[in-house]
Chain A
Amino acid sequence: MVPLTVNGVSHEFDGDPNMPILWYLRDELGLAGTKFGCGMALCGACTVHIDGRAIRACVTPVSAADSKEVTTIEGLDPGGNHPVQRAWRSHNVPQCGYCQSGQIMQAASLLAENPDPSDEEVIDGMQGNICRCGTYQRIFAAVRTAASEV
């Protein structure tokens, strides 16, 4: 039994503790905003927070969240108005949108740890998140905008 909190709600997970958090969120809790892209922590589409820090949910077992707080895109801000989310919309970042939950969660974690990142720090911080539609230019601009607001 693994006790954990997801978006402020307490859960007791009684399945295989090796199950990646991604599939617990998607298949068992019905939180579909977190996406599957590679299964190897190579693309960042599954990024969520454990105790506020970005992790790749596709390779992180539920056991790693024992007694911890998991935050997904659905729980980042009750109204969807986290500064990163607002910046994303003002820069019209998404194309297909599929990777964007992971991008936003990564950016939110990056800015929580470093509210005033340099350009290089933004690039380093977002390097693990792939966008096949190629929205990087707008991601970069949106992170800079959000940084000025957090």
Chain B
Amino acid sequence: MAQITHVSRRQFIQSTGLGAVLVLGAQIRQNSIFAVARAQSATSVQPNLFVSIDSDGTVTITCSRSEMGQGVRTGIPMILADELEADWSRVKIWQAPGDETKYDPAGKDGQNTDGSRSTRHHFEIMRELGASARNLLERAAAEEWGVDASEVYTKHHRLYHTSSGRSFDFGELVDAAANLSLPTGENAPAPRLKHPSEWKYIGRDLPVVDNFDMSTGGATYGADVSLPGMKIAVIARSPVYRGKVRSFDATEALQVSGVEQVIEIPAMADDTPAEFRALGGVAVIGINTWSVMEGRSKLKIEWDDGPFTVHDSSTFDDTLRESARRGGSVIRRRGDVDEALSTADSVVESEYFVPYLVHTPMEPPVALVDATARPVQVWAATQAPNETRQYVAEALGLEKTDVECHITLLGGGFGRKSKPDFACEAAILSEAIGAPVRVQWTREDEVRNGYYHAASAQYIKAGLDASGNVTAWHHSAAWPSLMALWAPDVKTASTLEAGLGLIDLPYNNIPNLQIETGEADAMIRVGWYRSVNNIQHSFATNCFVNELAAAADRDPLEFMLGLIGDADEMDLTEDAVEEIWNYGDSIDDWPIMPKRLSNVLRTVAQKSGYGKQMADGHGLGLACHRSFHSYVATAVHVVVRDNGSLHVPQVDVAIDCGRYVNPEGVRKQIEGAVVFGHTIARHGKITTSRGVVEQSNFHNYPLTRIGDTPLDVRVEIVEDYVHLRSCGVGEPGVPPYAPALANAIFAATGKRHRALPLTDDALRV
């Protein structure tokens, strides 16, 4: 249970700039919902999340996580407002700066917004914060009326005395409540929480708080913050990863009107891991964005390309495929696959490939830093405000506590904005010129110098008995690890990446399993991208199981349900799994539950009309996947025309995300995930030639547009396990889409496609 204490009024007013008169701060012990393990003893108490109530009754709720379209500025405050019994129309949101000592006291996520974890890590504590504030107001009202607190109740921003009908607005009780002390200490009673049947916002549709600003141009993103004396910079970075400037000539660049300075940012030392550090390059600095973009185009730079010109898709892709076939590190083993394969009635084998992908948020990376201020001031579209502080501090030779990071709205994130290299660049340049600097990345910068979703190959071999039952599944995958950001020589997949849909292969009823990973070199910055390795793991497993169903002459739905089963939980320790990364959470709190996966699959089959007769050229494909603790099944209806072109008239998705907050938010995330998945399935492909990324902008790295998107996406939020803990929503809709489309194309045409993207050209082959 959280303990609630007053924070000094001065302290809170200073931190918010609000005229707050009543302030509550939470102190969270290690055994709260934020704790790593429930069994740990109480060791530290630190302030965390806040609500304030003004004398005019305005309730201000702090949002400490980054808004990038997932609705976090609405969803999490809804929880607190509900328990407070606040009137949502009188709630304001205040965006907190980066401070993990306040906003992540248990060290769970560093205040990062990623991993689809904000709701599940805040649900219980936000309830307690809201309920504590409500209980305090109820006590204040009781004192004002001279009655027992048990005679007071709260409804919609007012406190009522049960028998007399007297009432106060929240604002009228601010002074009285501020004089009350809150119960503290380990034995302090927990605030009374509302019964779920009393919830007024949790589980109800609400529009996002930024809806008006976003429809009028009034919302503030990374490039929308300005400071007096600010300069703008764009940077020419090495076309090849870890390349360096050999020499440059800035004469012509400096002749461009508005360009003031050209400065080299040194590359990292060869033995320094890339992490989130500035790549280095040549920066053109001036008075407006156009000038510096023009100036950059006139730079003459000679690059030392460094060692990674060997990184060439023409050979690298085959290296990955060979590594997948070799395998090597066994991470899950049940029974004896070799024996089972040797005695199988038939053996099916297939190879799958997913290329590198890059994030392409509509807002390219951008940050503004004033390194002349103390503390240093950063305004950034960042998912990771405290890592921003850490890496900016390192770049400036300062301590993290010397840097403040303000979080703007993010024009999309998808994992790119977890990596604050762009803020480091702005910090270095600001220090160099002694003025605030905004570094603006162009689209070309973002596509060519990004952090890339790992290209991957998978090889799967399965045995069937004479009745078509799967007796063995031998699965091997290879990809360059994102851990190479910190350990550049790492060649083996990490536990974290294997935990993203590989080691937790859902086919629990197969008697002999072996899952292994092969080695791969990271020769570019590999980084996480919405739903991460789940993309390729879901693609391969859902496509291959569909191939097995065909080989066994069985209906794919019944076949999948038979393999997944309806067990309450899947225990990987029985399969010689030494370590599972369970999205950073305890497997006891968020177990792997096959019955929930089967349930969403049955639901989507029923909703989509699976099994009905379809016209020639039409096909319905299914896929299901657990990720970020949520269970999602997708049914794609495809029409493949005679000329090979493709149309998706309908998509059905069933999601079981446990306890959810804003169903409208869930639907929007799934609708968006389908479009994101459609881009992966149909368009996404980054390639390298002699180490240089060959794509640069939306003409050669296309995204799904309104003309090729599924426009009829139907989302079913499955309620059967709504009493269980909240699970992720932002990412889990992505992984099942591409395999559902591939399986639909097979149903429509009888053709298998095992490499993404499924472009028109690929489909014609």
Chain A positions near chain B (C-beta within 8 angstroms): 15-16, 19-20, 23, 26-28, 30-40, 42-43, 45, 72-74, 76, 80, 85, 88-89, 92-101, 104, 123-124, 126-140
**A84–B290 Cα gap in the complex (Å)?**
31
Which residue of the partner chain A has the closest CB to B211? A89
Contacts A98-B412, A137-B671 aside, 10 further interface pairs with beta carbons under 8 A come to A37-B364, A43-B698, A85-B215, A94-B215, A96-B363, A96-B411, A96-B412, A97-B214, A98-B409, A104-B215
B709 at the interface (CB under 8 A from A): yes
**A135–B70 Cα gap in the complex (Å)?**
12
Nearest-neighbour CB distance to chain A for B409, whole angstroms, equals 7
Chain B positions near chain A (C-beta within 8 angstroms): 67-71, 207-208, 210-221, 223-224, 226, 232, 257-258, 287-291, 293, 360-364, 409-414, 440, 442-444, 664, 668-669, 671-676, 678, 697-699, 703-707, 709-713
Are A27 and B706 in contact, CB atoms less than 8 angstroms apart? no
Q: Given A32-B224, A40-B697, A136 and B411 touching (CB < 8 A)? A: no
Are A23 and B288 in contact, CB atoms less than 8 angstroms apart? yes
Among A16, A20, A39, A133, the residue within 8 A (CB) of B257 is A16
Residues of B within 8 A of A132 (CB): 360-362, 412, 414, 676, 703
Residues of B within 8 A of A19 (CB): 288, 290
Query: Considering residues B219, B362, B410, B712, which has the most beta carbons from chain A within 10 angstroms of its beta carbon?
Result: B362
Are B706 and A85 in contact, CB atoms less than 8 angstroms apart? no
**A42–B207 Cα gap in the complex (Å)?**
30
Are A35 and B221 in contact, CB atoms less than 8 angstroms apart? yes
Are B442 and A39 in contact, CB atoms less than 8 angstroms apart? yes
Are A39 and B443 in contact, CB atoms less than 8 angstroms apart? yes
Q: Given A32-B217, A134-B704, A38 and B212 touching (CB < 8 A)? A: no
14 contacts between A and B (CB under 8 A): A16-B291, A27-B289, A30-B226, A37-B363, A74-B218, A89-B212, A95-B71, A95-B672, A129-B705, A132-B361, A133-B672, A136-B675, A137-B712, A138-B671
Are B69 and A95 in contact, CB atoms less than 8 angstroms apart? yes
Are A136 and B211 in contact, CB atoms less than 8 angstroms apart? no
Residues of A within 8 A of B293 (CB): 39
Which residue of the partner chain B has the closest CB to A86? B215
Residues of B within 8 A of A128 (CB): 705
Nearest-neighbour CB distance to chain B for A44, whole angstroms, equals 10
Nearest-neighbour CB distance to chain A for B77, whole angstroms, equals 17
Are B211 and A92 in contact, CB atoms less than 8 angstroms apart? yes
Which residue of the partner chain A has the closest CB to B441? A36
Residues of A within 8 A of B219 (CB): 97
Residues of B within 8 A of A27 (CB): 232, 287-290
Query: Considering residues A39, A43, A136, which has the most beta carbons from chain B within 10 angstroms of its beta carbon?
Result: A136
Nearest-neighbour CB distance to chain B for A121, whole angstroms, equals 12
Among A40, A76, A92, A127, the residue within 8 A (CB) of B706 is A127
Nearest-neighbour CB distance to chain B for A14, whole angstroms, equals 11
**A128–B545 Cα gap in the complex (Å)?**
38
Closest 10 CB pairs of A and B: A33-B217, A134-B675, A98-B411, A96-B69, A95-B69, A97-B214, A73-B217, A134-B672, A80-B216, A23-B290
**A127–B709 Cα gap in the complex (Å)?**
10
Q: Given A97-B69, A98-B363, A136-B706, A33 and B218 touching (CB < 8 A)? A: yes
Are B409 and A97 in contact, CB atoms less than 8 angstroms apart? yes
Among B68, B362, B410, the residue within 8 A (CB) of A131 is B362
Residues of A within 8 A of B704 (CB): 134, 136
Which residue of the partner chain B has the closest CB to A90? B207
Residues of B within 8 A of A28 (CB): 288
Nearest-neighbour CB distance to chain A for B392, whole angstroms, equals 23
Are B290 and A136 in contact, CB atoms less than 8 angstroms apart? no
Are A94 and B671 in contact, CB atoms less than 8 angstroms apart? no
Among B215, B442, B706, the residue within 8 A (CB) of A89 is B215
Which residue of the partner chain B has the closest CB to A97? B214
Among B210, B673, B675, B712, the residue within 8 A (CB) of A94 is B210
Q: Given A89-B207, A95-B70, A97-B214, A37 and B713 touching (CB < 8 A)? A: no
Residues of A within 8 A of B216 (CB): 33, 73-74, 76, 80, 85
